[in-house]
Amino acid sequence: MTADLRTLVECESPSADLAAVAASADVVAELGERLTGLAPERIVVEGRTHLRWRFGPPGVLLLGHHDTVWPVGSLVAHPWRVEDGRVYGPGCFDMKGGLVQLFHALAGLSSLDGITVLVTGDEELGALTSRPLLHEEAARADAAFVLEASADAGALKTARKGVAWYEVRVTGRAAHAGLEPWAGVNAAVELAHQIQAIAALDRGPHGATVTPTLSAAGTTANTVPAMASVHVDARMPTAEEALRVDDGLAALRPMLDGARVEVVPGPRHPPFEPSSSASLFALAREVADGLGLGPLASAHVGGASDGNIVAGDGTPTLDGLGAVGAGAHAPGEYVVVDELPRRAALLAGLVDAVRGGSWPGSSARTNPAAVDRAGRP
């Protein structure tokens, strides 16, 4: 497993580099074919390469991604190494270690019938091209297991906040700042009013966090700004909070005569609520106990994953089944070597339990009410 992880890590795959992602897909495809006996379907959308394996009829969906946030050349400063029971290297924890566990888990099963594997190439960009594939497979699956990295100390991820990005654009009217500023409509001043209204939507830390971020206004130092904008990062724990934020931003109105305000929605992931994972986490604890893997912990986290999308479609979902380690997206990212086979065994046990009927399956499917407003673009 360590050797396979090294092969994946040393094939750098930053999301924005289409050639690197395609090369990485070849390496992941080779690993999957070697351990399962089946070559994947290659799905290229807008130049981005995704991989899918379908073994018989739908049932269990296993999700992962092979793109990373690390640019080509990162191995120079952060080379692959093994020290004190840990492996280091860009992307090892998020989430190439999870891919290694996934395929080694499948290799240990007596049958692969009823399993679908989807490995995407743009998760770090918000599933810009893989989202239709995720919706398609979520609709076919009784349960989804996401091989994203674990939370602290190996905890499984049983809830994630939804994420939505917006841009608020303000249009005013330009004028000479020295000769007749009163003839203009100052978009920067209007933007200041709008930023205050946006910030007032925040209900963190227990509700939605709504954060104005990157902002800009004007063209030259001696001109009343005619245009201004601010980006907004919103993180929502529930579908209700997602709707409240949407409604609040839609209700923004200009404060200055002659100004216009436009809210442009961007990419988003729906909230992954605890109800989506409750039955599968209970099953995971039973499986772990039966395998002697010790008690499992759970965690609610702020970052989104592809798990948000399939959970938002109503598919029971359990996340964080990937590598145990720390340091995602940061220098010093690492994976605990001894946990690789243990987590693979847990995944194999979960797949067998779902296929074997010891879990209620489709009866646990949640109601994806308001998914369109809370998550689907």
Active-site amino acid positions = 67, 123
Establish how many alpha carbons lie within 13 A of residue 215's alpha carbon, considering only the half-sphere containing its beta carbon: 18
Instruction: Please tell me whether the peptide bond between 316 and the residue prior to it is cis, using omega within 30 degrees of 0.
Output: no
- From residue 342, alpha-carbon distances to 64, 103, 152, 349 in Å are 18, 13, 16, 11
**Residue pointed to by tokens 């739908």:** 58
Sheet of strand 162-171, all strands in order from the earlier edge strand to the far edge: 209-217, 227-236, 162-171, 260-269
- Closest to 277 in 3D by CA, of 251, 303, 249, 311: 311
Query: Is there a contact between 323 and 99 (Cβ–Cβ < 8 Å)?
Result: no
Q: Which amino acid is at 5?
A: L
Residue 216 φ/ψ, nearest 5 degrees: -155, 155
Least Cα distance to 296 among 350, 334, 355, 362 occurs for: 350
Residues 6 or more apart whose Cβ sits within 8 Å of residue 113: 55, 56, 57, 355
Q: Which residue, chain included where needed, has tokens 């997602």?
A: 242
Residue found under tokens 């986490």 = 281
